[in-house]
Structure 1
Amino acid sequence: MTRRLLFVIALSVLFSPCTFSQAPKLDRQVAVTIDDLPAGMADRLPASDITAMTTKLLGTLRDQKIPVVGFVNEKKLYKLGEVDERIKALQMWLDYGFELGNHTFSHMSLNQRELKDWEDDVVQGESVTRMLLTQRKMKLRYFRHPYLDTGRDLETRRKAEEFLMQRGYRIAPITLDGWDWAFAGIYEDAKKRNDTALQQQIVKDYLAYHDAVFAYSEQQSAKLVGYEPKQILLLHASNLEADHIGELLDVLRKRGYRFIPLQDALSDSAYSLPDTYVGEEGTGWIDHWAITQGKIPQGAPVFPQWVIERSKELRLSTGQVSAEPQY
């Protein structure tokens, strides 16, 4: 977590968390994606809590008719005595009318492991998800890179892309990322301790930071692409999103967004632009486009320092899980 928080800070300037920015009325479009299913903190939550969280999250999304693809780490299904209930949490996504994608078995970084190990993890992460989709006559279509790590060098990146294409995947890029997982970790702790005041502060800053990220991403993508493309939002399965995603959706609506399927977003020509980004740190596609064009991304909003410090105190991870099932 620390290196990634430092990375985003290095690209940032200070923002005000007090008020949402006012955006002109535009016909903006965004696809919502949610990572780390069945839950980002699945190692710390009993299956009953995961089920309750999933029910609340999916209920809001269904009621508001938001198309969503959820990306699965199947490693998180394997906890002694809870496998069936955790799989049922994935089934709920399909029962509610949503789609599932592959996020590798163990949330493995392509930047930190050998390509063959990563490929094996991708395949291992397909078994349950593909079975559930096949039962509903659906296909496993989308892949999301853990940590957005697409490869330390261009050769590795291109080989990984070819591997995914041969297995029938379309990579799901992202352009809007407010690091909700970091807010979610400290929110989970505050909720367990019934610290209502802290929960309210977390939600306030979570919404304000996302609004600032949306404004930045809109401006930067317009400069780099020549127009605002159909955006793709990255979120994570958590109690924070279960409790407050409706408020975040309202922030997007105030900025003029309509919600579209991932397939429609990927039809935007922006996602076919030249992209040669490689590096130790995964990042979003706006940075990919900028660096490919020889430009340095500048002006991103600063992530709240107090959230960083609180995360360190709680020793929260970025979602990486061990390579072996938790039997």
Structure 2
Amino acid sequence: MRPLAPLPLLVACLFAVVASWPSLAGAAADAPERRDTLDRRIVMTVDDLPWAQLPSVPSADAIDGHRRLVAAIERAGVPAIGFVNEGKLEHDGQVQPERLAMLRDWLDAGAELGNHSHGHLDLHEVGLPAYQADILRGERQLRPVLQRAGREPPRWFRHPYLRAGRSAQDKADLQRFLAGHGYRIAPVTADNTDWIWATAYLRVGESPDGSKREARKLKAKLRRDYVQHMGRKLDYYERQSTALLGYALPQIWLIHANLLNADTYGELVAMVRKRGYRFVGLDEAMRDPAFERADAYLGPAGPSWLHRWAIGEHRPASFFVGEPQTPAWVMKLAEIESE
């Protein structure tokens, strides 16, 4: 999960130059179905299982939204992989059976599960030894759950905050550590700020002054605008792919296990399909040779792998122009100052 506080800018020296340039965002979510010959493929990945708000809320507050999200995933019938933070399974250091059952729900819906660490630690803050220990701590429940379900051991690891190391040595050491424990890194190419929208969605309260109707209208607007915004983000990263690689890379999409995505999952899948994409598994996407490129980014943030590769090629600031930004009214509602 992205932190509910301002993040460092992606590459300060680049975005300071282009921050005031107008957006070149592409088609809206209701654009006509595309009929070109690009092979558009996409992977659905969901972070912060079993539920993004855990462990800061009681299990009972998470169950309804969790069930809606899992039901939507099963109805959609597309490949999906969820990344687990085992710390969210616990209360006062004890694993809660109802939270462990939430992981089994994902497996019953046909999803795969990967490791997102135990405590969602920031590699850049805690250093490599503590980070590696937290990865292993994040599989103590995951491995038995998968084994009891007749599934393979966890094969994919997703960096919390997408922060992957401030030095080439740390990256190489982490890669060796992960490979030694049977993991591959699950990158993200189509990044977004769904965590900001989700925060705004939660903060739309039903006040005691009788404004429930207004709250429902605002939530409906958030859902509608969110799906459109996610479509524009996907268009942007498709253009980044063709500009950098010369073709449409299989996109690896990141969303989080939260109430907003539970309430819009079907619409998100429909929007992506309308754009001509077909959903594939992570294994298929990662066979694309682009993913053999080195991650050259050593900055403080957690950008898309497309941007990491572009930075490694020393692309100019103009290359990064046009990424859709979260609207100011959503930022205000979420009480977040910057992306």
On whether the aligned pair clears a TM of 0.5, the verdict is yes
Deviation at 1:201, TM superposition (A): 2.2
Deviation at 1:15, TM superposition (A): 6.5
Which of these residues, 23, 28, 36, is aligned with residue 14 of structure 1?
23
Deviation at 1:44, TM superposition (A): 4.0
**Structure 2 Cα separation of the partners of residues 308 and 228 of structure 1:** 31
Amino acid of the structure 1 residue aligned with 2:108 = D
Answer yes or no: is the 8 Å Cα contact 2:198–2:258 preserved in 1. yes
Q: 3-state SS of the aligned residue for 1:203? A: helix
Q: How does 1:164-203 map to 2 (within 5 A)?
A: 164-190=178-204, 194=212, 195-203=215-223
1:77 aligns with 2:89: yes
TM-score (norm 1): 0.89
TM-score (norm 2): 0.86
Segment of structure 1 superposing worse, 64-73 or 49-58: 49-58
Corresponding residue of 2:34: 24
Backbone CA RMSD of aligned residues: 2.5
1:306 aligns with 2:319: no
Q: 3-state SS of the aligned residue for 1:111? A: helix
Which of these residues, 65, 68, 72, is aligned with residue 80 of structure 2?
68
Q: 1:16 to 1:269 in 2, by over 3 A?
A: closer
1:163 aligns with 2:177: yes
Corresponding residue of 1:261: 281
Deviation at 1:271, TM superposition (A): 0.8
Q: 3-state SS of the aligned residue for 1:307? A: helix
Which of these residues, 265, 272, 281, is aligned with residue 252 of structure 1?
272
**Structure 2 Cα separation of the partners of residues 304 and 152 of structure 1:** 31
Q: 3-state SS of the aligned residue for 1:176? A: coil
- Report the structure number with the largest CA radius of gyration: 2
Answer yes or no: is the 8 Å Cα contact 2:227–2:271 preserved in 1. yes
**Structure 2 Cα separation of the partners of residues 19 and 30 of structure 1:** 18
**Structure 2 Cα separation of the partners of residues 192 and 149 of structure 1:** 36
**Structure 2 Cα separation of the partners of residues 82 and 135 of structure 1:** 17
Corresponding residue of 1:147: 161
Q: 1:53 to 1:82 in 2, by over 3 A?
A: farther
**Structure 2 Cα separation of the partners of residues 215 and 259 of structure 1:** 16
Answer yes or no: is the 8 Å Cα contact 1:277–1:292 preserved in 2. yes
Identity %: 35
TM-superposition CA deviations, 1:68-116 (whole Å, max 9, x none): 1100111111125871111111111112221111111111111111110
**Structure 2 Cα separation of the partners of residues 192 and 146 of structure 1:** 32
1:127 aligns with 2:140: yes
Answer yes or no: is the 8 Å Cα contact 1:50–1:86 preserved in 2. no
Answer yes or no: is the 8 Å Cα contact 2:146–2:153 preserved in 1. yes
Corresponding residue of 2:113: 100
Amino acid of the structure 1 residue aligned with 2:194 = D
Deviation at 1:298, TM superposition (A): 2.3
**Structure 2 Cα separation of the partners of residues 50 and 208 of structure 1:** 26
Amino acid of the structure 2 residue aligned with 1:3 = P
**Structure 1 Cα separation of the partners of residues 191 and 251 of structure 2:** 10
Which residues of structure 2 form unaligned runs of 5+?
none
TM-superposition CA deviations, 1:183-237 (whole Å, max 9, x none): 1112122266651122122112211211111111001111111111111110000
Q: 1:234 to 1:145 in 2, by over 3 A?
A: same
Which residues of structure 1 form unaligned runs of 5+?
319-327
Answer yes or no: is the 8 Å Cα contact 1:109–1:146 preserved in 2. yes
**Structure 1 Cα separation of the partners of residues 153 and 205 of structure 2:** 37
Deviation at 1:31, TM superposition (A): 0.6
Corresponding residue of 1:53: 65
**Structure 1 Cα separation of the partners of residues 174 and 32 of structure 2:** 41
Which of these residues, 4, 7, 22, is aligned with residue 7 of structure 2?
4
TM-superposition CA deviations, 1:230-267 (whole Å, max 9, x none): 11110000111111111111110111011111111111
**Structure 2 Cα separation of the partners of residues 22 and 279 of structure 1:** 38
How many residues align structurally? 316
Answer yes or no: is the 8 Å Cα contact 1:191–1:199 preserved in 2. no
Deviation at 1:294, TM superposition (A): 0.7
**Structure 2 Cα separation of the partners of residues 135 and 127 of structure 1:** 13
Q: 1:23 to 1:112 in 2, by over 3 A?
A: farther
**Structure 2 Cα separation of the partners of residues 93 and 281 of structure 1:** 30
**Structure 2 Cα separation of the partners of residues 97 and 308 of structure 1:** 34
1:234 aligns with 2:246: no
1:91 aligns with 2:111: no
1:114 aligns with 2:127: yes
Q: 1:2 to 1:45 in 2, by over 3 A?
A: closer
